[in-house]
A and B are shown apart, each in its own frame.
Chain A
């Protein structure tokens, strides 16, 4: 029994090692994706191209504009352009934001209860427009406070940012990447590995031997479990040393959840292998049923709570949804098993169900 299992696993490792192109992809993909998501893809905003138009030219207006230029959020590309060019500038995307200080700014500040400045924002990227708006509200509030120190604020909000105090987006992405890459490798590689044997005819040869189908499945899963775990540890180590993403919770709890999650990916792969006959189709199918829901419906990038209710329900059957809550909790918040018990339960349940379905389907298709 064990000798048979060992033979199958050993052979699978030979396949992986001989196919060095795939081997390189397996090792390089996590590294490249991590660098890409860590450095290039960021949800933070900086260096917004901005044009300042000061029609007032007074010490007050200059003081306000100094507040704006002193941040890295705005990048001043031009100053004092005539009003008739505004439309053209926004159309040509030479700036995303134009701030106009009216000629009566200084006088109005002294005499009027309220003074307006004009801000033109290109909202074709609504996310950026929102950022710009919020940022300017902050700056103007600070400016007002400086001008009238005796001004009484009825109350103010003083947020304390927990678990990711600098609001770094890679704190959010690194755990997510573990989820995506594990799923990709486990489901894609297992489905291809099994379908390849069907294509070449070796599956049939193994099946006429006294090997139990379950032994084939387990023997094939072991190497990909190992690879999935190695890749996740690689990402976590790089995340730790390149981006400072901590592992606050128990590493053993992390390993346990990783293993359960890897098993869910493997069962996806097995399921795909039972419904496909060629390696290409298997690859596409695995991508469709694993990668897409994981990217869109797990909260990897898009927050689930702001989705329509039906998608929120749907997201509950995506293993990555629960795994993301678990891994973000363990890494960033130091969650204990008790804190993440519902998610662990859901993930384990889904995995067992998937595994049962795929093994049953696998047995049936051998007929």
Chain B
């Protein structure tokens, strides 16, 4: 079942074309990786799919809803976590959870039970009333993911979720992502780290606003006859820029 369907999606800023005729589709339960250098158009694409930015042309639907006409429905069906984690540092862990619960329109009892559930899941019961500024990066990252999923969305967009986090936390984070995918959630993730690209079911590599490769990691490695995604990425970027 297709949950994200994108065709010839384009976004221009003045004369600059940030995303150029991008097409792809993502299956339910898939971990879909989005690779590319800074400024390649990854974030712009995600922002269009999340309803933060209107496309200039092309079509896209998320969870069956059109990005032009039904952004409100899309927002109810997606979770979004950016590299900045978007937590309020001067609020406690519990207050952050409650706030985002409120923003998603959860009822008071729902918020209470979700809060307890999340605190136990994150093993943050002891830090529940500590200011978010005082907890380690790895925990902030997991807290940010949890708050983005309070309303139980079927699709989750992760925009460089692991930048600035230590390797152990990164690995734990990916275990979490796997578990979510097993539950049938669709994960749409952008990353800088090529080792993380190996964990994805499929990856797309973007350059100058266009998708130039879209395959399973294993297929790409075979195609370029290399052992790691790092090498695939270097070859793809170098070859095309010649």
Give me 6 other A-B pairs in contact (C-beta within 8 A), A11-B95, A201-B84, A210-B72 excluded: A3-B108, A7-B101, A19-B90, A200-B84, A204-B80, A205-B148
Q: Which residues of A, 189-208, contact B by the 8 Å Cβ criterion? A: 200-202, 204-208
Q: Determine if B17 is an interface residue (Cβ-Cβ < 8 Å).
A: no
Q: Which residues of B, 41-81, contact A by the 8 Å Cβ criterion? A: 50-54, 72, 75-76, 78, 80
Partner of A8 from the list B51, B86, B87, B103 (CB cut-off 8 Å) is: B103
Main secondary structure of the interface of A (DSSP, over half): helix
> Considering only CB atoms, which chain B residue lies closest to A15 in the complex?
B90
Which 10 residue pairs spanning A and B have beta carbons closest together?
Answer: A7-B102, A201-B84, A205-B86, A208-B80, A18-B90, A210-B75, A201-B86, A202-B86, A11-B99, A209-B103
Q: Determine if B184 is an interface residue (Cβ-Cβ < 8 Å).
A: no
Write the nearest CB–CB distance from B153 to chain A, whole angstroms: 10
Write the nearest CB–CB distance from B241 to chain A, whole angstroms: 31
In the complex the two chains form, is B102's CB within 8 Å of A4's CB? yes
Q: Determine if B39 is an interface residue (Cβ-Cβ < 8 Å).
A: no
Q: Which residues of A, 9-27, contact B by the 8 Å Cβ criterion? A: 10-11, 14-15, 18-19
Q: From A3, A201, A210, A211, name the one whose CB has the most chain B CB atoms within 10 angstroms.
A: A210
Q: Which residues of B, 129-146, contact A by the 8 Å Cβ criterion? A: none
In the complex the two chains form, is B75's CB within 8 Å of A209's CB? yes
Distance in angstroms between the alpha carbons of A210 and B106 in the assembled complex: 12
Partner of A15 from the list B76, B88, B98 (CB cut-off 8 Å) is: B88
In the complex the two chains form, is B86's CB within 8 Å of A14's CB? no
Q: Which residues of B, 103-142, contact A by the 8 Å Cβ criterion? A: 103-105, 107-108
Distance in angstroms between the alpha carbons of A210 and B150 in the assembled complex: 13
CB<8 Å pairs between A and B, sample of 29: A3-B108, A4-B102, A4-B103, A4-B105, A7-B98, A7-B101, A11-B88, A11-B91, A11-B95, A11-B102, A14-B95, A18-B90, A200-B86, A201-B82, A201-B86, A202-B86, A202-B87, A204-B86, A205-B82, A205-B86, A205-B100, A205-B148, A208-B75, A208-B80, A209-B103, A209-B104, A210-B72, A210-B75, A211-B103
Q: Determine if A6 is an interface residue (Cβ-Cβ < 8 Å).
A: yes
Distance in angstroms between the alpha carbons of A3 and B53 in the assembled complex: 26
In the complex the two chains form, is B90's CB within 8 Å of A3's CB? no
Q: Determine if A367 is an interface residue (Cβ-Cβ < 8 Å).
A: yes
CB-defined contacts of B54 to chain A, threshold 8 Å: 367
In the complex the two chains form, is B82's CB within 8 Å of A204's CB? yes
Distance in angstroms between the alpha carbons of A97 and B87 in the assembled complex: 66
* Band of interface residues on A: 20 to 34
> Considering only CB atoms, which chain A residue lies closest to B107 in the complex?
A3
Distance in angstroms between the alpha carbons of A15 and B95 in the assembled complex: 11
CB-defined contacts of B53 to chain A, threshold 8 Å: 367
Q: Mark B176-199, 1 if CB is under 8 A from A, else 0.
A: 000000000000000000000000
In the complex the two chains form, is B90's CB within 8 Å of A208's CB? no
CB-defined contacts of A201 to chain B, threshold 8 Å: 82, 84-86
CB-defined contacts of A10 to chain B, threshold 8 Å: 99, 102
In the complex the two chains form, is B75's CB within 8 Å of A7's CB? no
Distance in angstroms between the alpha carbons of A208 and B48 in the assembled complex: 11
> Considering only CB atoms, which chain A residue lies closest to B101 in the complex?
A7
Distance in angstroms between the alpha carbons of A170 and B5 in the assembled complex: 68
Q: From B72, B75, B108, name the one whose CB has the most chain A CB atoms within 10 angstroms.
A: B75
CB-defined contacts of B148 to chain A, threshold 8 Å: 205
Write the nearest CB–CB distance from A137 to chain B, whole angstroms: 63
Distance in angstroms between the alpha carbons of A11 and B85 in the assembled complex: 17
In the complex the two chains form, is A6's CB within 8 Å of B105's CB? no
Q: Mark A206-226, 1 if CB is under 8 A from B, else 0.
A: 111111000000000000000
Distance in angstroms between the alpha carbons of A350 and B76 in the assembled complex: 37
A14-B90, A210-B72 as given contacts; A7 in contact with B99, CB under 8 Å: yes
CB-defined contacts of A8 to chain B, threshold 8 Å: 99, 102-103
Write the nearest CB–CB distance from B182 to chain A, whole angstroms: 24
Distance in angstroms between the alpha carbons of A3 and B103 in the assembled complex: 8
Distance in angstroms between the alpha carbons of A172 and B85 in the assembled complex: 50
